[in-house]
Amino acid sequence: MGETQPSVRACGPCQKYKRRCDKAQPACGLCTKLNRACSYNDGRGQNETLRRRVEELEIYVASSGSSVNLQGGDVDGSLLRYQKFFIDSDLYTQLNTLPQCSTAHTIPPSVSREIGSSQERRETVSTYFETIHPWMPIVSKLKWQQLLRVGSENAMRPDQALLLLSMKLIQHVPTGTIHAARSSLYTAVREFSTALEMAGVYSLYRLQSSVLMTVYEMGHGIFPPAYMSLGHSVTQATALGLHDEEAPQMLEKPRNWVEWEERLRTWWAVRIIDRFIAVGGNNRPLFTEDPRPNSHLPADDDAWDRGELTSPERMLISFPHQLAASPFGRVAQAAHLLGQVVRHCNEQPADLREVMANIESLNKLASSFLELLTNEDENVYHFRDAIAICFSCDSFAARPGQADNTTSLALLHAITENSRASLHQIIARLMEFEEAVRLEEDRRLTATCPSPWACQPLYKSAALMLWLGSAAPPEEGDSLLERSRRCKEDIKTLGNRWKIADAYQEALVKVEKELAAGLY
């Protein structure tokens, strides 16, 4: 019998531990030396793992499908459990509210492996509240401290396990967008969320998981899934009744202010993501309506974490910006302004004079809000996320208008000049903001986890600088190109955390090529 041909791939253990493999069969030399099991992946390993996980989830759905019925066997009550909220909302006050997901629902083995031991779960939650929570404070810290008390995590419900899995996911930093979309952790979150939906589980935990997954997709450039996940988050939140206190409420009445505030913050997160994603594409409508004047803003972040009711604890969106607000409250205000800008840019008014008036009004609003947020040096870093979203407002609203056959040249020239003047003001402010953030980060001893909010305004500003510089006098053009280079460096730095930055860098290269060809 002839010698066995070597494998074309390294064996599984050598790949896992990044060791040199001689590819000998049936066992490589290193595995033989270390007396460990040696196996070769013929390319079907990942498919086999995925197939096994799908089978586990299918078993989970099949086994839990019958367990979501109301106890007692009341057929009419069982049928109306969900339908009552959609066929006759007047019934909902007379019937029981939505039952919580029971611990009797099993958690698939693949999910249990991902969330790990009790200690690993506590570490995941601790890191989440240290890195993600400061800029996305939507999950109650008090609730999770109670949930992860010694021994209590063994009674974790499946929807809580899903949120824990999503907390782990959003902390994950992939090597690139392609790797982010193929991550086993990302796949596990999507599959488990779908399984819970099929099993009839609707809860705030599952909605929050959807929000975190959307941020993961958005931050790492997984489009269009991020857009689809956003839409799913909106429909979940609306079905639960988070969008309006007067709408049918599928969730139980909040037991305290902390729970009420958590729901409010989760809905605001959905609104914020909706507006942020909409800025990336023209004429794409928002999923969510603008908040009403009596809509509440998020309260003080630190007080909510401690469970302390502060005064004034219920600020409204219509209150003057001059009143003090927390960082997340400022982000909500900035996102509200961004929504107005998006709606303005999506409209097609017949009179371009109306366009000029709207642009001037929006620019004044954004400028006054920016001035408020940056009036003191320490405020700049404290409110950096809200400021970044404000720059998205400015750069989006200040784009030159489009002409039609009825537009007078004089009016079009006036609009273009106003846009150019606004853009130069935006660039000057952006550079001041960028420098202030750099200095503060250099001063701090520990690095913070950045949010993804700054990526888009940095990209848009860099592209606008390239556009302005291409038609500017040499000295001004060189200055704009240098400022654009600084924005590119910041985008590259953000790429260490959020892989959407790689796409923005590639897009800027394309902008330069199109400018050179006269196409941009």
Has residue 86 been placed in a domain? no
Structural domains counted in the chain: 4
Dump pLDDT digits (tens) for 237-254: 999 999 998 888 889 889
Same domain, 324 and 395: yes
Report the candidate in 366, 390, 369 with the shortest Cα–Cα distance to residue 460.
Answer: 390
Half-sphere exposure of 161 (CA within 13 A, CB side): 31
The whole-angstrom distance between residue 15's C-alpha and the CA centroid of its chain comes to 33
Same domain, 124 and 269: yes
**Three-state secondary structure readout of 158-181:** HHHHHHHHHHHHHHCCCCCHHHHH
Same domain, 249 and 276: yes
Has residue 82 been placed in a domain? no
**Residue 296 DSSP SS3:** strand
Q: From CA 154, how far away is CA 420, in angstroms rounded? A: 60
Dump pLDDT digits (tens) for 259-273: 999 999 999 999 999
Has residue 494 been placed in a domain? yes
Residue that is last in its domain, among 241, 264, 289? 289
Q: Note down the domain range covering 279.
A: 116-289
Same domain, 164 and 306: no
Q: From CA 65, how far away is CA 389, in angstroms rounded? A: 43
Write the CA distances from 176 to 416, 420, 448, integer angstroms: 38, 36, 21
Same domain, 360 and 409: yes
Has residue 85 been placed in a domain? no
**% the chain with pLDDT above 90:** 45
- Give residue 59's pLDDT: 55
Tokens at residue 17, please?
């531990």
Residue 296 confidence class, pLDDT cut points 50, 70, 90:
very high
Report the candidate in 4, 57, 58, 53 with the shortest Cα–Cα distance to residue 27.
Answer: 4
Instruction: Tell me: pLDDT of 412 over 90.
Output: no
Residue 60 confidence class, pLDDT cut points 50, 70, 90:
low
Quickly list H helices, 248-323.
257-278, 301-306
Residue that is last in its domain, among 237, 254, 289? 289
Same domain, 148 and 283: yes
Q: From CA 332, how far away is CA 338, in angstroms rounded? A: 10
Dump pLDDT digits (tens) for 418-468: 777 778 888 888 888 888 888 777 776 556 789 999 999 999 999 989 998
Q: Which residue has tokens 């750069």? A: 395
Helix H or strand E segment including 508: helix 500-516
Q: Which residue has tokens 């079009």? A: 412
Instruction: Tell me: pLDDT of 483 over 80.
Output: yes
Same domain, 123 and 257: yes
